[in-house]
């Protein structure tokens, strides 16, 4: 069975500080991992996916198959990064399995 775990429900950092949102997964095949973000009063939207290996809004995430992790990182957090972040796993097309989410609060 596939499972996505985000151990932190809330992460609070000061503006300019580095931020890392943790995500661990369990899946027997080759997964596709995503980070979705939900800003206040907005719909859930894709932030980035591991196969793109891109940086979006300064965020990056590297898939570590040995540690089964896909942590989201940003070197300098901004207040506008405050949102709910969800890590998700795609099991080859049928559906996304989401973690419980981490609320990021960036304080001025």
Any contact of residue 13 with other proteins (CB under 8 A)? no
Binding mask 76-95 for other proteins (x = CB under 8 A): ----------x---x-xxxx
The pairs formed by 45-54 with CB atoms below 8 angstroms and a separation of 24 or more are 47/72, 47/85
21 contacts other proteins (rule: CB under 8 A): no
- CA dist., res. 25 & res. 39, Å (int): 24
- Which of 44, 54, 57, 80 contacts other proteins by CB under 8 A? 44
DSSP letter, residue 68: T
8 lines the binding site for other proteins (CB under 8 A): no
Q: Is the dihedral of CA 67, 6, 79, 59 positive or negative?
A: positive
Q: Residues in the site for other proteins, rule: CB under 8 A?
A: 32, 36, 42-46, 49, 51, 86, 90, 92-101
């Amino acid at each position: 069975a596939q499972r996505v775990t985000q151990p932190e429900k809330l992460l609070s950092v000061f503006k300019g500080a580095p931020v890392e949102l943790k995500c661990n997964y369990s899946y027997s095949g080759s997964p596709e991992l995503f980070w979705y973000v939900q800003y206040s009063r907005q719909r859930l939207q894709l932030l980035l996916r591991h196969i793109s290996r891109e940086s979006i809004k300064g965020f990056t995430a590297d898939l570590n198959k040995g540690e089964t992790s896909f942590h989201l990182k940003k070197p300098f957090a901004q207040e506008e990064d405050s949102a709910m972040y969800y890590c998700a796993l795609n099991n080859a097309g049928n559906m996304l399995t989401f973690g419980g989410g981490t609320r990021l609060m960036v304080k001025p």
